[in-house]
Amino acid sequence: MAGIAIEKLVKRYGTTQVVHGIDLTIEDGEFVVFVGPSGCGKSTTLRMIAGLEDINDGTISIGDRIVNRLEPKERNIAMVFQNYAIYPHMSVAENIAFGLYTAKLDKAQKRKRVEEVAEVLGLTPLLERRPSALSGGQRQRVAIGRAMVRDPAVFLFDEPLSNLDAQLRAQMRLEIKRLHQRLGTTIVFVTHDQVEAMTLADRIVVMRDGHILQVGAPMELYEKPADVFTARFIGSPTMNVVPAKATAEAGRSALQLGEAPIAWPAALPEDVLVGVRPQELRVLGQGEGADLVLSGTVAVVEPLGPETFVHVEAEGGLLLASASAKNPPAVGSAVRLGSPASALRLFDAKSERAL
Amino acid sequence: MTGSSLMHRFAPGRVIVWLLLLAGGLLMLTPLLFMFSTSLKDSADIYDLRLIPAAPTLDNYKTVLSDGRFLRWFWNSLAIATIVTLSNVFFDSLVGYTLAKFQFRGRYLVFLAILSTLMIPTEMLVIPWYVMAKNFGWLDSYWGIMFPGMMTAFGTFLMKQFFETVPNDFLEAARVDGLNEFAIFWRIALPLVTPALSALAIFTFLSNWTAFIWPLIVTTSKELYTLPVGLASFAVESQIQWELIMTGAALATIPTLTVFLLLQRYIVRGVVLAGLKG
């Protein structure tokens, strides 16, 4: 097992720079998830850790070795790819054993290792099958098995669940999490799915345009996003963000949004963005009040079983709020939405950084 | 069978298509049938144009097979076609793989240069090949017959197109697993393009089995003749013994027919894949 240290890492394709000197330390045994939209540099960074992309500047260390110039096979890593990359012309057993290609083990020892891994992943009855006879989830398990069999210092996962349906994805997520708890190996996992990031990670690394925007534990990112992008990216459904004006009178700040100004304990710039999560913006009942109250008309109702979300045309645009699952408002009805001041996240309108 | 499906089956358009296909099929089959028919006739009956011989005999086959020359030519053709096929399967794939999967300066230029040779007809290449063979001392040798076909632009092009469809993830997974670049080609990439490989092997074998002009030009010793050249020499020697020529030709079709019957599926797929050569 080993930690990973990334220092001032740069990647360029021709004149286009796609990773801009990022720094990151991943502790030994940590499960770190890189998350961000397509083209944010997360997969490129992972591939540089794997040795599948050259590094233009900066260093990557695995354990106490700088690995910049080492071949992938010399880095003691194993990687699971998005489309599984299990070899279609080999059986499950051969595929898993392929992870031991360079291992100095005799046939019987290799077979034993393959059987152990197959046992852990529930692949024992499938060992002689060809990949074409496996379901998507089973294929992904074979790919994980091939990575596991080598007992690597670091596991790298490049969007491994993207090709699976929602139900299977949830199941595989659980399996990967349990696998990490069992093995305790360092894992770097790339995804564009924030639910995967939230559920799997010890720490999440949010990336955008080749920069790291924020690194932190899932709940830390959820509750204290460093900027509007992270605030909207982390958490489902997406956080509402509405522009507002702030005023200061006699040294006291107030937020001019909704039915009444909201007193704010800290100094604020004139233009701010107010973020409020749909779960914390509720449809108010008759006579009910809140720190922030916004009025609007219901455009769409989305019942989800335990809760119902409503899209409301209100001041600041289309807002998503939660409503009673039993008595949701009708489409077209006028509603008042309310949220406590403690649930509001404020950002500078210019820099979009948290205030 | 319902009335509507019968109607559909015998729709005028379909009947016309069937008739055209039948006519085309017969047109192609007739010479073959006459070849087999003549091979079963006595020398006195060969100008009797009945398809079914009046007195069928296997004497011609006995004569041809007992003639040492025929067997020699047969084995020459078989050996040459096999070696050239193996060489093409290996080298065309290797170059095709390199052009498809490696980024290097001049890659596009190399590919264009290879592709441009597809535009030069064999007839134009025969003279430079001959000069080359003469200067290297390869005239009248097996290597002299084989060297122009050991690698082909068509094969390289076909394999390159196919390797491009192999996802890079497979190759990268193998790289992470610790395989060297040749092992990645040999153990991972090559098995993934088996359909293209089969098509290439079939085309190369068949075109070399039937090759005539170049083996005729480059060889002078009869023991180095390939089967088509040998059969042609049968025809020009003393009097023309059509029944023996037809018997030789019938025997020569055996490997072709075997390859076709065994690998029909791949040939059809290969023609579709290659898209330009049949």
Q: Is the pLDDT of residue B238 over 60?
A: no
Read off the pLDDT of residues B64-119 as tens digits, 9 standing for 90 and up.
888 888 889 999 999 999 999 999 999 999 999 999 999 899 999 999 999 998 88
In-domain check, residue A355? no
Check which CATH number belongs to the domain holding B89 and give it: 1.10.3720.10
Q: Is the pLDDT of residue B277 over 60?
A: no
- The whole-number average pLDDT for the span B173-192 is 92
- Specify the pLDDT at position B278: 35
Q: Quick one: A106 and A193 in the same domain?
A: yes
For chain A, how big is the Rg over CA atoms in Å? Answer: 24
Check which CATH number belongs to the domain holding A187 and give it: 3.40.50.300
Q: Strand, coil or helix: what is B254?
A: helix
Helical H segments across chain A, by residue range? 42-50, 92-98, 107-121, 136-148, 166-183, 194-200, 218-223, 228-233
Domain ranges, residue A269: 240-348
Interface contact A146-B167, CB threshold 8 A: no
Domain end marker among B9, B28, B57: B57
- Specify the pLDDT at position A75: 92
Q: How many beta-carbon pairs under 8 angstroms link A with B?
A: 51
Domain end marker among A203, A233, A263: A233
Distance of alpha carbon B38 from alpha carbon B48, whole angstroms: 9
Q: Quick one: A159 and A252 in the same domain?
A: no
Nearest C-alpha neighbor of B188 from the set B176, B200, B198? B176
Residue A91 touches chain B, beta carbons under 8 Å = no
Distance of alpha carbon A236 from alpha carbon A279, whole angstroms: 9
Q: Quick one: A66 and A205 in the same domain?
A: yes
Least confident of A209-218, B53-62, B234-243: B234-243
Q: Is the pLDDT of residue B12 over 50?
A: yes
Q: Quick one: A316 and A278 in the same domain?
A: yes
Q: Quick one: A63 and A130 in the same domain?
A: yes
Q: Quick one: B43 and B74 in the same domain?
A: no
- Specify the pLDDT at position B3: 59
DSSP A4-26: EEEEEEEEEETTEEEEEEEEEEE
Q: Quick one: A182 and A316 in the same domain?
A: no
Domain end marker among B57, B73, B98: B57
Check which CATH number belongs to the domain holding A248 and give it: 2.40.50.140
Q: Is the pLDDT of residue A210 over 60?
A: yes
Q: Chain B partners of A85 at a C-beta cutoff of 8 Å?
A: 167, 169-170, 172-173
Q: Quick one: B33 and B83 in the same domain?
A: no
Least confident of A228-242, B2-16, B74-88: B2-16
Contact B235/B245 with Cβ under 8 angstroms? yes
Domain end marker among A233, A254, A278: A233
Q: Partners of A346 in the beta sheet?
A: A274
Would you state the structure tokens that stand for residue A214, as one six-digit string? 């924020």
In-domain check, residue A65? yes
Q: Quick one: A20 and A47 in the same domain?
A: yes
Would you state the structure tokens that stand for residue A275, as one six-digit string? 């973020």
- Specify the pLDDT at position B272: 65
Domain ranges, residue B215: 62-274
What Å distances lie between residue B6 and A20, B1, B9, B22, CA to CA? 70, 7, 5, 20
Average pLDDT score over chain B: 87
Greatest alpha-carbon pair distance for chain A in Å reads 81
Domain end marker among A189, A216, A233: A233
Q: Is the pLDDT of residue B275 over 60?
A: no
Say which residue, B258 or B175, is predicted with more confidence. Answer: B175
- Specify the pLDDT at position B274: 58
Say which residue, A255 or A46, is predicted with more confidence. Answer: A46
Q: Is the pLDDT of residue B263 over 80?
A: no
For an interface test with A, the pick among B176, B179, B182, B188 (most A C-beta atoms closer than 10 Å) comes out as B176
- Specify the pLDDT at position B4: 62
Q: Quick one: B205 and B243 in the same domain?
A: yes
Read off the pLDDT of residues A69-118 as tens digits, 9 standing for 90 and up.
999 999 999 999 988 889 999 999 999 998 888 778 888 999 999 999 99
β-strand A57-62 against A203-208: which pairing, if any?
unpaired
Distance of alpha carbon B197 from alpha carbon B193, whole angstroms: 6
**Within 10 A of A174 (CB to CB), how many other CB atoms are there?**
12
Q: Is the pLDDT of residue A222 over 90?
A: yes
Q: Is the pLDDT of residue B151 over 90?
A: yes
Distance of alpha carbon A210 from alpha carbon A10, whole angstroms: 9
Interface contact A73-B176, CB threshold 8 A: yes
Q: Quick one: B9 and B114 in the same domain?
A: no
Q: Is the pLDDT of residue B217 over 60?
A: yes
Residue A73 touches chain B, beta carbons under 8 Å = yes
The nearest alpha carbon in chain B to A53 belongs to B172
Counting runs of H as helices and runs of E as strands, what totals does chain B give?
15, 0
Distance of alpha carbon A42 from alpha carbon A38, whole angstroms: 8
Would you state the structure tokens that stand for residue A283, as one six-digit string? 């449809």
Interface contact A88-B192, CB threshold 8 A: yes
Which amino acid does the sequence have at A240?
Answer: N
Read off the pLDDT of residues A118-168 as tens digits, 9 standing for 90 and up.
988 889 999 999 999 998 888 988 998 998 888 899 999 999 888 888 888
Average pLDDT score over chain A: 90
Distance of alpha carbon B201 from alpha carbon A180, whole angstroms: 48
In-domain check, residue A353? no
Least confident of A236-240, A274-278, A315-319, B221-225: A315-319
Interface contact B172-A78, CB threshold 8 A: no
Per the structure, how many domains does chain A have? 2
Peptide bond into A237 cis (omega under 30): yes
Residue A65 touches chain B, beta carbons under 8 Å = no
Q: Residue A14: left if φ>0, alpha if ψ -120 to 50, beta else—which one? A: left
Q: Quick one: B84 and B70 in the same domain?
A: yes
Contact A103/A151 with Cβ under 8 angstroms? no
Q: Partners of A26 in the beta sheet?
A: A4
Residue with tokens 């072709």: B256
Contact A293/A284 with Cβ under 8 angstroms? yes
